[in-house]
Structure 1
Amino acid sequence: MSRRAFTRFFRRETGVSFLDWRQHAIVFASLPRLSAGQPVTSVALEAGYRNIGAFTTMFRRVIGLPPKRYAQKGRPSAKR
């Protein structure tokens, strides 16, 4: 199956583009790592991104927050 045929089939069957699905999968796989306190750089590299800024931009577009802020929000505050 050609790439073009696959992307058309994927969109028809799922209702989303393969690229959008892939990005959401990467973000949701990254959430537990970020919540556990792993550095954004290591999470991005493990996700296959060589450019940390690209990972951050994609993460922000999907979640609405940059990964570092998401990680801080997900952990208990030291001021409590």
Structure 2
Amino acid sequence: MPNPVIEIYTSPFCGYCHAAKRLLKSKGAAFTEIDVIAHPDRKPEMIKRSGGGRTVPQIFIGETHIGGCDDMMALDRRGGLDPLLQG
């Protein structure tokens, strides 16, 4: 089974975005980064997909909205991140 597509909406000045990307990289997970500062036209898409989330990062693994950095780190502590990354 192929690994799910991972998308993370970010801004270059966001420490939480950098931390979230570090965690994904440490797991060997490939992801697509969508910079909402460089591509402001993508921000409404992020807000809609996340159910109203206006802050970055907003993280999606496959069709699952993980939330932000703290949400993903909590998921990892509970042991729930690795199974999602494997598909």
TM over 0.5: no
Higher RCO by CA contacts (8 Å cutoff, separation 6 or greater): 2
More strand by share: 2
Query: Normalization by structure 2: what TM-score?
Result: 0.29
More helix by share: 1
Q: Which has the larger radius of gyration?
A: 1
